[in-house]
Structure 1
């Protein structure tokens, strides 16, 4: 029989639309102002922290909606932003430097819906409000650091080859290596040129000096690596702010653009982003007297440092390895069930660490966390001056000669080991960075953009609705039902896709989709009218109308989808947002306008002896 869907196909349409409606529904519940509390550098947020926060809030008579421990972080919800701000200020002071207290907005989705994976759409900066930063990487510091490492490498390699030298030191943009005699000069020149192919070496026999300069390719590679690593680290850092979908991308040769939608606490964001952190491994000075060091008599080759609990240790100044060479780190347990951190180095780091530890087996080694925090002071060039802070995060005994893969024990609880692994894996910024531009979009402006975008979508929907009702009568109602289902599916899919963010241009894409969604039905309905005028029966007209128009609809939508995918591939920011909603809208509109409307038409008019259609 013509125009009768099997039951399974009708049920499939109903189930797909129902699932879309289910996952679109979290967007109806709004968001709560909240304060997010997380531990710094291995500090664990526990039930005791929760009890302390509750006690502090009750003591200060600050009302809260709920407090819960979620994913190792504490989330306190409030009824309004006034109590949220009061709580942030009070808790920041009460909890001290071991905890990060940040403002946030969290979805008010019911627990049963959240347990099914239902979350609202992520909103872009232009809709939710937030802050945007343009940050500049200090490329001079990058090159200086690379040259300093080259000095250390040249010294160790020349010693290993038993080539005597007087000095190896930085000299402006190059490294000057002064040898003892012409024979050593010749040996050093031959060895260095063979070993370090990314350096240019020029020897001067009159002064017994070799000048080493990085090649242009090496300089470019060093700068590129610094920029890419900083981008990766910043992405991890903004997680401390609780930002759902931050945008972190490069701009030009030395700039990074960071957009933090929904962030209210710009001061906290600047503090975290401005900090430059790195990791160093150093030997503990067992020969020096710790008591003398505490009294101000620190050996020239050592340094007095403290851990986060204030315990002092005397460390050698010589750096065995920096965190730049760490390519992976993860936490686990040793054979005795104690927490440990497994570390993997790159090839140069593995070779360097092997040489540094072969004569130190059985001796304690410290992992030092170094952070550069921006101050209010400026240097002569107008750049921000950074303050250096050093802290011991782990001291462990070297059990064997360490190479590319090794482990650190004695890191405390499993949570501390996990946090240390994260820190080692993603804590080393190559060079200081500073904010050179800041833009803030207020929540009120974001709310206004949402209202204007929603009004545009509803206006477009209403006009299309009236036109279809007037021109196609009952079939117009079918098209309008499909259009409504299409909007629901777009919102549901956007809510389900991780990383999909709705922006103002994205809302423009939805408005465009509203018009395009009924375009397919216009083609189908006009074809049905033609078939009826040519004398075909009602059922034949419906059948041929859908079948004949399908290829035209498919071709038109595929070409538009190709254009949308190209926009997504080559575009950035707003263009990507437009391309995402347009692509999703094309796919969902094809489903609703062809499969969805046909299911309704078949259910109402299919398989019946009819003389005319309300079209």
Structure 2
């Protein structure tokens, strides 16, 4: 007992340190409550998308006061980094399950072959997967075996292609090829897992959880504290396929003639709109005329295409349409009967829609100069760095730097665009984000470029994040997503805290009732230990969950 004083001193010091560590949690809670009160006062509950608007206002408030001193010794941003991390069950957040497309991986390994047996096996595997628990690769191998005839997996136009020549040759049997394909698929899923991890690290949540679910290609992602599910879905499912294309010049006569012929052909293929649809189309035409007053007035009741599409859009857009009609127009333009109408000088044209602004009701259609292989002039693998920034008009934008090869191609492409009076379409995941013209004679040297548009700061951060992390080796389809929000999350917090406090009070009372003065000492020690445990959790950056409390 001679060291009792030293023990008390250490206990006192540890207690102070724990209280100091927990103070950051109280500070962030206080500031966030103030932000919620401020946002609730500013945003009327009657507005559309009230919850989203209020949360956006909260985020702006917290961002504006993030560097202000709180309680004289820290800032909100610093306190947020040091607060006690709470898990998804306590804090709420977003839970997303992704399915990495094994079909896309197989197509990539086969170099996007046109082999009919291979593609029929993929189609059969798609059908079988709807009613089977077997993995997609097993279903594909089974389907291929059933229809292969004289074909084999090691055919030069399937897996024994140039890209796989180091591992597969045409003399190998199917049984020899299958393990290699399985390994390649697993490597691609691991690659997708790492890309997603890098993206999530830049999302700005504490202690995210990401894990694979066996060999199925499914990946589970938990983002504690995140609320914007649309933003999370875009971040996780984006393949980050960045491409640079040259557009055709505005008013290209060959393309205008194509649209006129396509409209005539569609008259015999598409049922004419009802009177109600025609009335609605005329209202949309009125909206479109405000956007493009010089457009050709070709809309009529008997014109299926021109009821929905107006030529000569703004900038380098070849046409413009209401967003709700873009899917139908796109399906028409992909029809083989319609594609065959393209004149020889524009026969490989690639049509893509722009990414519309959040409040827009219309979208521009861009005609991109393509080739027989449908490959872009420059692909995203030449981008060495990406960052969120502001453009010359102080609007959120994404800046990019290219490697040496990309810089040379960029200078050549921009030089041609300047000579041809065409635009450069910057395309991400088959959406045209921007298509500026090039005024600089001789092109733009140095390999720097910029994606501009109607972005928010969070959107530019996410775009830069996915470009830095790299593209996914295959598409990631969201098969399940939900927000653990004010209902489930708050109920969990309230019930967990209530049960904890009730149990704590009963234990303290029982200890005093049964042990008397010794029970009081035990209660003090128990309370001190709880503070100490939470303080250590906060200092280590560990995550507190409901099972942890239990």
The within-5 A match list for 1:148-227 is 148=111, 176=156, 196-202=165-171, 216-217=179-180, 219-226=182-189
- 2:281 is matched with none
In structure 2, the partner of 1:249 is 211
Could you tell me which of 444, 448, 462 is aligned with 1:408? 448
Q: Which runs of 5+ in 1 are unaligned?
A: 35-63, 67-76, 93-99, 152-170, 179-188, 204-210, 372-387, 509-615
- In the alignment, which residue of structure 2 is the partner of 1:115? 75
Could you tell me whether the CA contact under 8 Å between 2:205 and 2:225 is conserved in 1?
yes
Distance 2:444 2:245 in 1: 14
What is the Cα deviation at residue 139 of structure 1?
A: 0.8
Q: Using the alignment, how far apart are the partners of 2:522 and 2:428 within structure 1?
A: 63
- Check conservation: 2:407, 2:448, Cα contact below 8 A: no
Root mean square deviation of aligned Cα: 5.7
Task: Name the SS for the 2:400 alignment partner.
Answer: strand
Distance 1:142 1:483 in 2: 56
Distance 1:398 1:144 in 2: 41
What's the CA shift string for 1:210-267, capped at 9, x where partnerless? x9x9763355234432454256347737977x7655433221221121334456666x
Partner of 1:342: 401
Deviation at 1:507, TM superposition (A): 1.4
Deviation at 1:505, TM superposition (A): 0.9
Question: Following TM superposition, by how much is the alpha carbon of 1:23 offset from its aligned partner in structure 2, in angstroms?
Answer: 3.0
Instruction: Deviation per CA, 1:306-347: give whole Å up to 9, x if none.
Output: 7668696743342355446867545799xxxx99523469xx
Task: Give the aligned partner of residue 295 of structure 1.
Answer: 256
Instruction: Give the deviation of 1:391 after TM superposition.
Output: 3.8
Which structure has the larger Rg over C-alpha atoms? 1
Q: Which residue of 1 aligns with 2:361?
A: none
Counterpart CA distance in 2 for 1:270 and 1:331 is: 18
The answer to whether the 8 Å contact 2:155/2:170 transfers is no
Instruction: Check the 8 A contact 1:135/1:255 in 2, yes or no.
Output: yes
Provide closer, same or farther for how the CA distance between residues 466 and 262 of structure 1 changes in structure 2, counting only shifts above 3 A.
same
1:545-574 Cα deviation digits (max 9, x unpaired): xxxxxxxxxxxxxxxxxxxxxxxxxxxxxx
Match in the other structure for 1:319: 376
Counterpart of 1:59?
Answer: none
Question: Aligned-pair distance for 1:105?
Answer: 13
Query: Which structure exhibits the higher relative contact order, with contacts defined as CA atoms closer than 8 Å and separated by 6 or more residues?
Result: 2
Inter-partner Cα distance in structure 2 for 1:125 and 1:470: 38
Q: How does 1:557-572 map to 2 (within 5 A)?
A: none
> Is there any run of 5+ residues in structure 2 with no aligned partner, and where?
115-150, 259-341, 357-363, 391-396, 418-422
| 3-state SS of 2:111 partner | helix
TM-aligned CA deviation for residue 431 of structure 1: 2.7
Q: Does 1:140 align with 2:109?
A: no
Counterpart Cα distance in 1 of 2:25 and 2:461:
35
Q: Deviations over 1:565-586 (max 9, x none)?
A: xxxxxxxxxxxxxxxxxxxxxx
Aligned to 1:25: 26
Structure 1 distance, partners of 2:352, 2:18, is 62
Residue by residue over 1:332-389, the C-alpha shift from the partner in whole angstroms, topping out at 9 and shown as x without a partner, is 99xxxx99523469xxxx7xx6997898795459563333xxxxxxxxxxxxxxxx54
Distance 1:302 1:103 in 2: 45
Alpha-carbon distance, 1:487 to partner: 1.9
Cα–Cα, structure 1 residues 106 and 481, in superposed 2: closer, same or farther, change >3 Å? farther
* Cα shift readout 1:179-212 (whole Å, capped 9, x = no counterpart): xxxxxxxxxx9x969x931332349xxxxxxx9x
